[in-house]
Structure 1
Amino acid sequence: MVTDDIRRYQTNLRDELDGAALYTAIAEAEPDPLRKDLFLQLAQAEARHAELWRAKLAEAGVKAAAYVPSFRMRLLGKLAQRFGPRFVMPTIAAAEFADRNKYAIQADARSISAEERGHAAIVQEMARTSPRGTVSGADIARAEPWHRGASGNNLRAAVLGANDGLVSNFCLIMGLAGAGADSRIILLTGLAGLIAGACSMALGEWLSVTNARELASTQIAKEAEELEQTPQAEQHELALIYQAKGLPKPEAERIAAELMRNKKAALDTLAREELGIDPGELGGSALAAAVTSFALFAAGAVCPVAPFILLHGAAAIIASIAASAVALCGVGVLTSLFNGRGAWFSAARQTLFGCAAAALTYGIGTALGVSLS
């Protein structure tokens, strides 16, 4: 047995055990009994796949190592239990989609390749048709007050929002430091950059959510008008939607007819299934989105400027670089949750690129400072 095959078996075993543990953790956090049962079935399927790779290792004369949950699995599981499964479902769905064909090119895994593709479709459907899609403000507000009401935001948006503030203010401060600006000037400019950037992000988010809500309201109003004017056509649309989900034609037509007896329920279903809009949320609260965006940007932007509150001169610059590097490393670890790469790789890449951008602005600041003096 070649070493490459053994390593592949070990990797596959570890991935399947991670999947089983993750779906079990999500099932424990899922309040809906039907979804809980589906998550448990997915966990059992992943465990069966793990046994296949354990058997392959045994055939090769290799004993499987004791299972140690990966950092990614442990963090996603904790996030699901703390914020609710909907918080992590988009991340998990993206990962399942990316891995849906990983067994198709492995000759000894084709028996489970179709099942893995089925899992990806199921998880994507659960993430897409969940009553509140990703995460509601209530989900986050239970755990962190500064996230209160941040409906529709997810882990990716939170991480990238904080990263925007961190990198932009880090570069701004290093540019001033390179130009030889006084520590007090750097502090004031850094705070101004924090406030200006956070306000800009908040305004942009408010406009985005407001426009999305207005568009959604317009689309729902148009759908309601069509429901009143052409109820038979809308009933036919509902039947086709349920057929596309796999229901037999008679069953799909029966469900569509029952829904049409209650126009409000029919409109709600058409909005969700045809337009992809949740009438109960309409994209979330614009004010909550703006406040959340402001807080996330400010949380990142404060890291490079904070040392200048207590320190001066070279000590403040060194402390700012250190604080920013640690924050960049943390952002990199969090990005590993949705980019599919290892935590250490993502942390190193994020830190390297962020520090490189700051070094560039420091160099530009130095050049401009010399020329102006």
Structure 2
Amino acid sequence: MAESARPDPHPGEPHRNGLSQRLNWLRAGVLGANDGIVSVAAVAVGVAGATGDIAPILTAGLAALVGGAISMALGEYVSVSSQRDSERALIAKERRELAETPEQELDELTGLYEAQGLRPETARQVAIELTEHDVLAAHLSAELGIDADDVVSPWHAALASAVAFTIGGILPLIPMLLLPEAARVPVTFVVVLVALAITGWVAALIGGSARLRATVRVVVGGALALVATFAIGSLLGTTGVV
């Protein structure tokens, strides 16, 4: 008779299964949205500072939106692909060592558990039992902190980043394109800063850092970017350069 599964005392916690994948999606999504908001808004506000015509604002905004989304997706794909290749190489190396020197690997696993505070006899027993259950998983977890079934996907990260960048970039374009000229820049500033506050809060929540500090940091950085690009656009517009 098969042993019944024990109830999860913390059903709301993700624990190990798929955790890296989910965090990878969230990280890429939040960073993508944040970059989309700031970069597209900065371009649109900069052009709006130089001219009140809607055509150049729309052209520059869409170019920033499409180019930024592709760039973010490509960057995430390359970065996460490198991480995935490294994890796969470590998994292959561990498999080879387990096949060639199983006794030494068992001793190494025992030593790792001893270093965590277990008594030598307890550490040895734990190492033996985990080796009998899933030797590769035991070594990957104890030595490298890797789950062979939870290797991050570059395609998921790229897609999450591109979609989030697009959504974030559309937010500042809406007031810039729909509102009268006098209200475009002020309303866009408000929309961008509120959106950045939300992404900063979510990013801090995911990373477990101080939420207020992270939120203020993101909002201040975004505000500086908008002020700088608007000032440059206004300067070029008033001097007749554009």
Distance 2:122 2:186 in 1: 68
User: Is contact 1:164–1:297 with CA below 8 Å preserved after alignment?
Assistant: yes
Letter in 2 for 1:160: L
Q: 1:242 aligns with which of 94, 113, 134?
A: 113
Residue 16 of structure 2 corresponds to which residue in structure 1?
Answer: 131
Offset at residue 233 of structure 1 (A) = 0.6
**Structure 1 unaligned runs (5+)?**
1-30, 37-80, 87-129, 138-150
**Structure 2 unaligned runs (5+)?**
none
Alignment pair present for 1:319 and 2:204: no
Letter in 2 for 1:308: M
Judged with a 3 Å threshold, the aligned counterparts in structure 2 of structure 1 residues 349 and 229 are, in CA distance, closer, same or farther, namely closer
Alignment pair present for 1:367 and 2:235: yes
Letter in 2 for 1:326: V
Higher relative contact order (CA 8 A, sep 6+): 2
Letter in 1 for 2:209: N
Distance 1:32 1:298 in 2: 43
Trace 1:143-222 onto structure 2 (pairs within 5 A): 152-154=24-26, 157-180=28-51, 182-222=53-93
Instruction: Classify the secondary structure of the residue corresponding to 1:152.
Output: helix
Offset at residue 341 of structure 1 (A) = 4.9
User: Is contact 1:169–1:301 with CA below 8 Å preserved after alignment?
Assistant: yes
Offset at residue 349 of structure 1 (A) = 5.3
Offset at residue 318 of structure 1 (A) = 3.4
TM-score (norm 2): 0.83
Offset at residue 266 of structure 1 (A) = 0.6
Offset at residue 308 of structure 1 (A) = 3.5
What is the root-mean-square deviation of aligned Cα atoms in Å? 2.7
User: Is contact 2:131–2:138 with CA below 8 Å preserved after alignment?
Assistant: no
Give deviations 1:11-58, integer Å, cap 9, x for gaps: xxxxxxxxxxxxxxxxxxxx974653xxxxxxxxxxxxxxxxxxxxxx
TM-score (norm 1): 0.56
Give deviations 1:133-166, integer Å, cap 9, x for gaps: 74544xxxxxxxxxxxxx6344x55433321111
Distance 1:182 1:330 in 2: 31
Residue 156 of structure 2 corresponds to which residue in structure 1?
Answer: 288
Q: 2:13 aligns with which of 60, 73, 85?
A: 85
Letter in 2 for 1:318: P
State, as a whole percentage, how many aligned pairs show the same letter: 37
User: Is contact 1:303–1:323 with CA below 8 Å preserved after alignment?
Assistant: yes
Residue 355 of structure 1 corresponds to which residue in structure 2?
Answer: 223
Judged with a 3 Å threshold, the aligned counterparts in structure 2 of structure 1 residues 332 and 229 are, in CA distance, closer, same or farther, namely closer
Distance 1:339 1:230 in 2: 42
Q: 1:274 aligns with which of 114, 132, 143?
A: 143
User: Is contact 1:134–1:153 with CA below 8 Å preserved after alignment?
Assistant: no
What is the aligned length?
A: 235
User: Is contact 1:308–1:320 with CA below 8 Å preserved after alignment?
Assistant: yes
Distance 1:331 1:224 in 2: 40
Judged with a 3 Å threshold, the aligned counterparts in structure 2 of structure 1 residues 336 and 250 are, in CA distance, closer, same or farther, namely closer
Distance 2:215 2:142 in 1: 39
Distance 1:316 1:206 in 2: 35
Alignment pair present for 1:340 and 2:229: no
User: Is contact 1:272–1:279 with CA below 8 Å preserved after alignment?
Assistant: no
Offset at residue 277 of structure 1 (A) = 1.3
User: Is contact 1:183–1:312 with CA below 8 Å preserved after alignment?
Assistant: no
Offset at residue 364 of structure 1 (A) = 1.0
Distance 2:216 2:122 in 1: 54
Letter in 2 for 1:354: G
Distance 1:32 1:318 in 2: 57
Distance 1:296 1:220 in 2: 31
